[in-house]
Amino acid sequence: MTSEDLLQPGHVVKERWKVMRKIGGGGFGEIYEGLDLVTKEQVALKVESARQPKQVLKMEVAVLKKLQGKDHVCRFIGCGRNDRFNYVVMQLQGKNLAELRRAQPRGAFSLSTTLRLGHQILKAIDSIHQVGFLHRDIKPSNFSIGRLPSNCRKVYMLDFGLARQYTTATGEVRAPRAAAGFRGTVRYASINAHKNKEMGRHDDLWSLFYMLVEFVNGQLPWRKIKDKEQVGLMKEKYDHRALLKHLPSDLRAFLEHIQSLEYSDKPDYAMLSLLLERCMKRRGVRESDPYDWEKPIVTQSQIPQTPAITTMTTPAPLSPRNNNQNIQPDNRKDNEVELDALCRRARKLEADATQVTPTNTDKQAITIDRNCNHDHDNTSSTLTTEQQPEHPTRQPER
């Protein structure tokens, strides 16, 4: 925290919410972790200066109230204003999806985690559209997981400051403006947003599509380009089917659906949801499976090294390659029993060979010893790691 922060640790807002620490901030305001002195629960306080030219908390509160009772939405606790700042108090959540992805060893999620996150995010987007609003800033850092044992596997939608009502009082879709201005985050914004067109429901889904690609690949092709116009041109010329290289082919239908939609069209949320569910089913993904951040991260140095087991050597003229060949232990018990029997037989024959002149029997012993090594190599198991793209250069979201 700095002296320029709107709130300092220990400050109590409206004699109820005690500020503990600052946990975030940006061009539109600051976010603090606080303690509700009445309920004793930890809360999030979102604050903006009362003198700030562009004020967004009014929209945040309006949308948050509309969404109460919906899945994937934080619980609204309170709001208010004074001559210094405006504020809203809501349920405190855990880490956001951008943080969780970057914390992965290769900066990417597994396909299992990606599909399940996409399914939850799609439901959250459907929820806000149902109450007549567009989010207009769909990106990983605007989705968090719960921080309590009861909700730590649920994804929550955050930050409604850029939301816009797309329906009239009668529920009709509002007429689009000729020029709406850019809204969103460059990396995940739709082509329509780059063209300053009025955004529709499908534009939120375009941002979800880009998120899914980044989750699996660890990056998007335009991640290093800072200029908004250049990114827009690249997206317009890019063959988006190429982005699906590491995603299930089923998701081409997702891309084709959002490509077919115009401003006023209603997306087929049910079809897209079934599409993701089908992808999960075909790949054996279960909702109960651990997410990537729930798994212990094991580095190469932490993998225990199993000592090599070598066969006994004899005076017989075996090659150094066979004498020194390592046997990898196998997890299959039946193979181990069979191998052990073969090796014991080979050792007995080898011991006999040291007491007599080499005969055909000794040659047989040598053959058995070689087969013992060879057979076990064929049955040994191999540890493999999932093939994922290299960790990208970490660029801040624009």
Which two three-digit tokens encode residue 215?
A: 């989750």
- Asked if 396 and 141 touch (Cβ cutoff 8 Å), the reply is no
CA 12 centroid distance within chain: 36
Element (H, E) at 201: helix 201-217
Which two three-digit tokens encode residue 89?
A: 């108090």
Q: What is the CA radius of gyration of the chain?
A: 30
Which two three-digit tokens encode residue 393?
A: 């250069």
**Distance in angstroms (rounded) separating the CA atoms of residues 330 and 310:** 14
Of 5, 71, 137, 369, the active-site residue reads: 137
281 is in an annotated binding site: no
Give, in order, the Cα–Cα distances in Å from 95 to each of 14, 155, 358, 391: 27, 10, 71, 20
**Could you tell me where the beta strands, DSSP code E, fall in the chain?**
12-13, 17-26, 29-36, 42-49, 76-81, 85-91, 133-134, 143-145, 155-157, 164-165
> Looking at this protein, which amino acid is placed at residue 74?
C
What is the dihedral sign for C-alpha 296, 299, 302, 304? positive
**Could you tell me where the beta strands, DSSP code E, fall in 100-250?**
133-134, 143-145, 155-157, 164-165
Q: Is 137 a catalytic residue?
A: yes
CA 155 centroid distance within chain: 11
Binding residues: 46
Q: What residues are designated binding site for ATP?
A: 46
Q: Any idea which residues carry the catalytic annotation?
A: 137
